[in-house]
Amino acid sequence: MIDWGAEDYHPVVYLPDNYTILDLSKGVWKNPTTMFSIGKYDEYRPGLYNSEIFKGIRNVHVGIDIGGPVGTPCMAFMDGEISHFGYNPQPGDYGNVVITKHKIGNQYFWALYGHLDSNSIKNKTIGQKISTGEIIGHFGDENENGGWEPHLHFQLSIIEPQTHDLPGVVSLEDRDKALTYYPDPRLILGEIY
């Protein structure tokens, strides 16, 4: 069991004091009235995931979305290393993604940074050391981030990924198991909503 409270974490994205908490359960990503926004963990989002990769049944979100301007930097919340990186090209997928590996006590875990710009995966190597506060990547635009509003999908995993991909959205049938494998990112991000 990971003792998430054993560490102090650097912000993954610098958020202003004022941001919008999105309600994506209506199946629409509306433009918020603030520059930054948050999409919730374990939110049922019917109608939002319409591309083929979701098969019409994957609609429970197992990460946190942080919306903001294209180019917003995303940072390492603690020391670690690059585990995987690459480009997921299908419509609705992550686009450019970086997965980092970390350790608390004797327990390893992984963090996925999805919907990044193409420069975020350049000059990366598997096993490359990263330092707390180091920029991992930047928010990509819809032409390179899977077709989404500019945002970061941030997700934790206690199971080792095999590629530069993790299911960020699961079916209701798989929800309970997925929430065990992919813990609430607020363990790292803090109580942002």
Return the percent helix, strand and coil in the chain, to nearest 5. Answer: 15, 35, 50
Instruction: Say if residue 56's pLDDT is above 80.
Output: no
Q: Is the pLDDT of residue 51 over 80?
A: no
pLDDT higher for 91 or 124? 124
Query: What does the pLDDT average to over 86-102?
Result: 95
Question: Which residue's entry shows tokens 């918020």?
Answer: 32
Tell me the chain's radius of gyration from C-alpha atoms.
Answer: 15
Amino acid at 179: L
Q: What are phi and psi of 6, to 5 degrees?
A: -80, -10
pLDDT confidence of residue 50: 77
Domain residue extents for the chain: 4-26+35-189
Please tell me which residue, 137 or 58, carries the higher pLDDT value.
137
Determine the pLDDT at residue 54.
82
* Confidence band of 31 (pLDDT split at 50, 70, 90): confident
More confident residue, 51 or 120: 120
pTM of the model: 0.95
- Architecture of 4-26+35-189 per CATH? Distorted Sandwich (2.70)
Q: Which of 26, 32, 25 is nearest to 66 (CA)?
A: 32
Average pLDDT, the chain: 95
